[in-house]
Structure 1
Amino acid sequence: MKIIKFILLSSLLAILSFSAWIYYPQYQINKIKQENAPTVEKTNKLTYIDYYRTIPDSTINHLALGDSIIRGYNIPEEENFISQFSTQLSVETGKQVVSYNEGVIGITSERLNERVQAGVYDEAIKEADLITVNVGGNDILKLVKKSDIYSALKSFDSLQGGFSENLAEITIKIGELNPSATIVLLELYNPMPADHQFYSLADKLLPKWNLMIYEAAKGTPSSIVVQTTNVINSDNLDYLASDGVHPNPSGNTAISSQILQQFQQQHKADAVLANRQN
C-alpha cells in the first residue's frame, strides 16, 4: 500500500510540475501585458504615436534588425511590414519616416548578437528613433533540422537559454548606444494548422519562448512587444506564404496594423522622455 501511495504521490507531483512548466510562462506573459495596458492613470502620458508626433525632428529613422521576417521573404520591399508600418507611422505623425532594413535571411540570435556586439550596426543604432528586432525562429528551425522533433524538444530549454541571453545582450547594447530609441520586439508565432500532429505541443511551448522576449523588453526603458500571435495563428493561415512559415503580403499588413494599434495605445516611458529632452 505504501508503494502505491508513493507512486500516486510521485505521479501527482510530476503532473503538477509539468503543468507549471507549461502554463506558468503564459501566466507571466498575461501579467506583463496587463501592466502595459492603457489605464486611467496613464491618460496624462504620451502614447508612442503622440510621442513621435510631437518630437521636434521632421524625420523619423526606423532601423530594422533580424531575420527573414524583418527582411520580407519572397515579397517586394514595399510589402514587408517594416516598409508598411513606416508608411503608416508617417501618415499618423505627419513626418517623414525613413526605414533601414538590415534583415538577413537565415540569421540566428547568436549571429545577430555577434554582429551587434562587434559594432556592425553602431552608427545606425545611434541615429535611429525606432529599432525593430525580430530573431529566434531560425534558432528553432536549425535545431529541428539537425535532429528529430523529440530530440529537439529535449534540447529546448538549453536552446531557449541561449536565445534569452543573446536577445538580452542585443537589447542592452542598443539601450547603451541609444537610450531614447524605442525598441520593438515581435512575439514568435505558431504557423502550424490546428490539425497538425505537433500543433498542441508547439502551442504550449511557444509561451515559454515568448516569455523570454517579454522579459528582455521589460529590462529596457522603452520597448514594445508586438502581439504577433493575435494576427498570425491557426485561424489566419491565409496570412502565410506557400512555405507555411513566413507571412505573405497580407500577413505583413496584419503585423503592421498590430504594431500601429499598440503604438496608439501604449505609452512611452517617462525615463525615455527625459533622455530625449536632455
Structure 2
Amino acid sequence: MQTSESDNAEKNIRPETQEKDLEVTEEIPDDTELQKAEETEEETQPLAEDIKDKVSQVIESALGLFVKKDLDIVAIGDSLTQGVGDTSHNGGYVGILGNTLNDDGQQKVDIVNYGKRGNRSDQLLKRLDQTEIKASIEEADIVLVTIGANDIMKVVKNNFTNLEYEPFVKEQANYMERLRKIFDKMLELNPDATIYLIGFYNPFENYFSDVEQLGQIIDDWNSTGSTVALEYEQVNYIPTKDLFANTNQDLLYEDNFHPNNTGYKLMAERVLEYIRPEIERSE
C-alpha cells in the first residue's frame, strides 16, 4: 500500500531541525551538475559501444560468475550513470559492470547507458517518453537508475543565501511522488523488468563537513528512495553512501563531487552484489 507524501515527509525529517538555518557560508564549486545542466539539454548518446570496445577495470569478486546469456540492461539517470569523473572515459560504474559481465570475450550482456549529466527526477520522467529510451526499457531485463542528487542541488542553488531545512522537506515530497511516476511508467513499458534504484552519497561532505543538516538531508532523501522502492515488488534499492563515508581512500574526482575510477569501481561492486541473483545462471 502506498503512503501519502505528507506521512513520509514527516517520517523522514527530524522535527527539531526543520526550522533551523543551515548557515552555509561557502561557495559551491562552479563545476557542479546543476550549472552544467543548461549546457547539456541535447540528448547524450548511449555509451554502449564504448563499453563494448574498451578494456578497463573489472570486478575481481566476479570471478567464477556464470552470467545468463542475452541479458539486456538499461542504465539511466544523472552523471553517476553517465560516468562523469571516470578519467578512462569508459562509462563509470556502468562501464566497469559491462566489462566484468562480458570479461570472457563473449557478448552475453548488452548494456545501454542513458546517463545525462545534470538530470533531475522531473527531467528523467520526461525522458521516459523518448522513443529510443522507451524501446530500450521495453526490452530490458534490468533497469539501473541514479536520480535525486540534482534535485537536492537545485534546492541548494535556489536558496543559497537563506538555506533552511523547510525547502528540502517540500522538495523531498515532490521527489517521492516523481519517483513513483518514474517506476510506474517503467513498469507500464515493461512489467517484467527488475528495477534497481541506486542511492547517492553526500557530495557536500568535503565542502560543508561542519553542517550536519546537509548530511541528514542526504539520509532523508535516500530514505525516501528506499521507502518508495519497498512499495513495488519489482523495485529494489541499492545503498552507496556508506562506500564514500569514513574512509581514507581517495574516491572522488578532482571536482570533489563525482566519483573517480576507484569510487566507480566500488559502486560497480555494490551493484553487482545486488543484481547477482538476477543475472547468475546455475551450472
- TM-score normalised to the size of structure 2? 0.68
Once the two structures are superposed, what CA deviation does each residue of 1:37-95 show, in whole Å capped at 9, x if it has no partner? Answer: xxxxxxxxxxxx9xx9685xx31111111111110114344251011112333459x86
Change (3 A) 1:184 1:125: same
Alignment of 1:18 onto 2:19: no
Aligned equivalent of 2:46: none
* Residue 164 (structure 1) aligns with: 176
- Residues 215/89 of structure 1: CA separation in 2 closer, same or farther (3 Å cut): farther
| Residue identity opposite 1:112 in structure 2 | L
Report which of the two structures shows the higher radius of gyration computed on alpha carbons. Answer: 1
**1:178 matched to which residue of 2?**
190
Structure number having the greater helix percentage: 1
Supply the distance in 2 between the matched residues of 1:169 and 1:129 (Cα, whole angstroms).
20
Q: Please say if residues 134 and 186 of structure 1, whose CA atoms lie closer than 8 Å, have aligned partners that are also in contact.
A: yes
Equivalent position amino acid for 1:253 in 2: K
Correspondence for 1:67 among 78, 90, 96: 78
TM-score, normalised on structure 1?
0.69
Judge conservation of contact 1:186–1:227 (CA < 8 Å) in 2: yes
Partner of 1:5: none
Question: Structure 1 residue aligned with 2:213, among 201, 214, 239?
Answer: 201
CA distance in 2, matches of 1:106, 1:152: 23
Which amino acid in structure 2 is aligned with residue 156 of structure 1? F
**1:99 partnered with 2:96:** no
What secondary structure is seen at the aligned counterpart in 1 of 2:109?
Answer: strand
Equivalent of residue 127 in structure 2, options 115, 128, 131: 115
Change (3 A) 1:179 1:78: same
Show structure 1 runs of 4+ deviating over 6 A: none
Quote how far apart the aligned CAs of 1:193 are: 3.7
Matched position secondary structure for 2:250: helix
Deviations 1:141-193 (A, max 9, x none): 12212222643522011111111111111111111211221211111211314
Partners of 1:168 and 1:236 in 2: CA distance: 36
Corresponding position of 1:129? 141
Structure 1 segment 239-254 matched on structure 2, within 5 A:
239-254=251-266
Query: Which structure 2 segments of 5+ residues have no match?
Result: 1-13, 19-61
User: Sequence identity of aligned pairs in percent?
Assistant: 25
Amino acid at match of 1:70: T
* Alignment gaps of 5+ in structure 1: 1-16, 22-48, 269-278
- Asked if structure 1 preserves the Cα contact closer than 8 Å seen for 2:75 and 2:113, the reply is yes
